[in-house]
Structure 1
């Protein structure tokens, strides 16, 4: 199903695909299935030159599960791993981003997303080594202007 959806979006002109990893498989330790789930998209996207970002929803995972999921994304030849869709109870945390970066070891890019509402927090993740920051539209001005509070309710 994910591969078919990717094929349709690519035909429509999509240049990047964000897919959510099956965290039921991750939580169950079904690592071959995690790889196959991601590969269903990367096998379609890579020949078309389309980037694939695998969202892990790290709020629901242990540090070990995060590291194993990053390894699966690498094996499946994804381009990025991403912390969150922004809808989980927790977005990017330093502890979980650090685990992702340690597992990635430069073999896959990391995108920190979710809960990044001020410039200082974004800069901290960039200093740690993430390749991209994801933020909601309500935080864009604060990130660009360097204002805002990390505890603000945007």
Structure 2
């Protein structure tokens, strides 16, 4: 696969608690250099990054991150705030406890509310696959499809494990028309990225791909 296609699928990500503005600015520069899909950064840096990028690169941020157990009202406020600050894309974390409790209506209602706030801007729904059974993953495919969200996303990268090939294959078999898939966490090589895309993922949440390309360029 052409590496250009891989870069174009990458949400170049830095969500570490210790992230500094200098580091955020660097991933913005790298994203521009490699023509990635977006930068995915903490909400506190969205306004500054959006001003720095000035429309040259999509800015993605995270809501209810990383545990997902904030109230819907808090997630709605976070989303509005992020969009007001210049975010172009929103990656939200579901309430996993609600899923375990089979409180499916609450999950769908929450996603619908955030999508309404996002309007035409992209909403991705993080379900944290490493904490779920296959039955729960399939149920979330159905809920995300019904909710009108744009993407289902595997992982935060802050739990026990990240994306697996099996998870993306499972998503592909169960999401409805128009729902795209994002693999995130643990994408360690161009071969991994290519495999995820061959399975149907159209976005990749990773910092490793650009780092690998830069290392090759500097070697």
| Contact 2:108-2:147 within 8 A present in 1 as well | yes
Residues 34 and 11 (structure 1), Cα distance of their counterparts in 2 relative to 1, 3 Å cut: same
Residue of structure 2 in register with 1:150 after alignment: none
| Contact 2:142-2:176 within 8 A present in 1 as well | no
Residue of structure 2 in register with 1:118 after alignment: 189
User: Secondary structure of 1:134's partner?
Assistant: strand
Is 1:103 the counterpart of 2:174? The answer is: yes
Residue of structure 2 in register with 1:141 after alignment: 211
| Contact 2:145-2:176 within 8 A present in 1 as well | no
Q: Structure 2: where are the runs of 5+ without partners?
A: 1-72
| CA distance in 1 between partners of 2:200 and 2:98 (Å) | 28
| Contact 1:79-1:108 within 8 A present in 2 as well | yes
User: Secondary structure of 2:210's partner?
Assistant: helix
TM-score calculated relative to the size of structure 2? 0.61
TM-score calculated relative to the size of structure 1? 0.86
User: Secondary structure of 1:19's partner?
Assistant: strand
Residue of structure 2 aligned with 1:68, choices 139, 153, 173: 139
| CA distance in 1 between partners of 2:169 and 2:98 (Å) | 22
Residue of structure 1 in register with 2:97 after alignment: 24
Rg (Cα) greater in structure? 2
Residues 74 and 105 (structure 1), Cα distance of their counterparts in 2 relative to 1, 3 Å cut: closer
Question: How far has the Cα of 1:27 moved from its partner?
Answer: 1.4
| CA distance in 2 between partners of 1:40 and 1:104 (Å) | 20
| CA distance in 2 between partners of 1:37 and 1:25 (Å) | 11
User: Secondary structure of 1:34's partner?
Assistant: helix
| Contact 2:190-2:209 within 8 A present in 1 as well | no
Is 1:34 the counterpart of 2:107? The answer is: yes
Q: Structure 1: where are the runs of 5+ without partners?
A: 148-154
Is 1:88 the counterpart of 2:185? The answer is: no
Question: How far has the Cα of 1:139 moved from its partner?
Answer: 4.5
Residue of structure 1 in register with 2:68 after alignment: none
| CA distance in 2 between partners of 1:139 and 1:110 (Å) | 18
| Contact 1:34-1:69 within 8 A present in 2 as well | no
Question: How far has the Cα of 1:140 moved from its partner?
Answer: 2.5
| CA distance in 2 between partners of 1:128 and 1:146 (Å) | 27
Question: How far has the Cα of 1:45 moved from its partner?
Answer: 0.7
Aligned length in residues: 143
